[in-house]
A = this chain, B = another copy of it.
């Protein structure tokens, strides 16, 4: 279909890559002396060179939303000079946005906006100064006597603290939900989850303790000291995508005196065994939110085995506030996680009586 438009993720003034209504991406790369140019999307059409040295290539139709990619020029894996750069897949490199039918919920609108703050905090346990991005909601600057709940929100393997802001548009999702009255204002804290020292496939050797120490032992106190937070367990949530979901599950289950709301996006689930084996689970936990892209659970089960929908239903039957969400027609990718945040946020810190037993 010939309705090609420059992607919203392109560099200023750059026409390519372009996207069409089928979700195909068209690349155009100038490489006059190159023998071969390809892209990292599987099942793409072969790039062809024209007389002026431009190589043009097309992908298959892709899912809605954001995709990491690289270009290969004569064996060199390089970023596309036409796109902006994002940290994912273990490197700063190209990304392309395929416009989603529901992209309105992360659009920049004429609403009051929050602030996305880069803060530096010293970590004794790692003897380094670390970075976190902190979203403060609209009104935070003006309502100086008001204190806010906090969501600690983690990225996945191969990503970093920039992910939820840049790829995820967490700040815009929140600005819009708050403007529509669908979520109460809260603070979001996004730091590096120490995921990337683990080689892909080496999860078995991953220990949660170093990051747990940074998050619970160092970052939470820093945030409570430097922002107007409600610093008690009912007002603290944690969520994460993929490996960040795995970290969320481990850290929350070990720290239910600190966290009361749990969100796992394409990152595992919580079973009745977890509930029964974790002291005080039913009294302390106010929400368990589990989500997946629909294509991750085709046939009912996830890649790793396990049935998160069944887990979620079992928790519900046991009287827990348990929610299961499926993002239609998406897989293990950012559109699933943007939607997950959009579904999770309105459920957080909502006034309710004590959780039912």
- Of residues 111 through 150 on chain A, the ones whose CB sits less than 8 Å from some CB of chain B are 113, 115-122, 129, 134, 141, 144
Closest to A55 in B: B76
Known contacts: A110-B129, A118-B115. The answer to whether A53 contacts B34 by CB under 8 A is: no
Known contacts: A78-B81, A141-B227. The answer to whether A11 contacts B91 by CB under 8 A is: yes
The answer on a CB contact under 8 Å between B79 and A79 is yes
The answer on a CB contact under 8 Å between A31 and B85 is no
- Report A104 CB to chain B, min CB distance, Å: 15
The answer on a CB contact under 8 Å between B73 and A74 is yes
How many chain A residues sit at the interface, stated as a range, is 35 or more
A258–B84 CA distance with the chains assembled, in angstroms: 36
A13–B160 CA distance with the chains assembled, in angstroms: 13
A30 contacts B by Cβ under 8 Å: yes
A144–B31 CA distance with the chains assembled, in angstroms: 56
A205 contacts B by Cβ under 8 Å: no
A35 contacts B by Cβ under 8 Å: yes
Name A119's contact: one of B79, B110, B113, B118 (CB within 8 Å).
B113
A116–B85 CA distance with the chains assembled, in angstroms: 20
List the B side residues contacting A11 at CB < 8 Å: 91-92
The answer on a CB contact under 8 Å between B141 and A120 is no
For A179-214 the 0/1 string (1 means CB < 8 A from B) is 000000000000000001000000000000000000
- Report A146 CB to chain B, min CB distance, Å: 12
The answer on a CB contact under 8 Å between A76 and B196 is no
A227–B141 CA distance with the chains assembled, in angstroms: 7
A282–B78 CA distance with the chains assembled, in angstroms: 55
Known contacts: A73-B74, A120-B113. The answer to whether A144 contacts B141 by CB under 8 A is: no
List the B side residues contacting A79 at CB < 8 Å: 78-79, 81, 85
The answer on a CB contact under 8 Å between A119 and B115 is yes
List the B side residues contacting A92 at CB < 8 Å: 11, 84-85
The answer on a CB contact under 8 Å between A32 and B116 is no
A33 contacts B by Cβ under 8 Å: yes
Q: What 7 pairs across the A-B complex have the smallest Cβ distances?
A: A31-B76, A32-B75, A33-B74, A34-B74, A113-B120, A116-B118, A78-B78
For A155-166 the 0/1 string (1 means CB < 8 A from B) is 000001000010
A108 contacts B by Cβ under 8 Å: yes
Given A30-B75, A31-B73, A115-B118, 6 further pairs, Cβ under 8 A: A31-B76, A71-B78, A79-B79, A79-B85, A117-B118, A118-B165
Name A76's contact: one of B12, B13, B29 (CB within 8 Å).
B29
A355–B343 CA distance with the chains assembled, in angstroms: 48
A11, A30, A109, A118 — which one has the most chain B CB atoms within 10 A of its CB? A118
A33–B33 CA distance with the chains assembled, in angstroms: 11
A30, A76, A144 — which one has the most chain B CB atoms within 10 A of its CB? A76
List the B side residues contacting A74 at CB < 8 Å: 31-35, 73-74
A122–B73 CA distance with the chains assembled, in angstroms: 41
The answer on a CB contact under 8 Å between A30 and B85 is no
The answer on a CB contact under 8 Å between B115 and A77 is no
Name A33's contact: one of B35, B78, B117 (CB within 8 Å).
B35
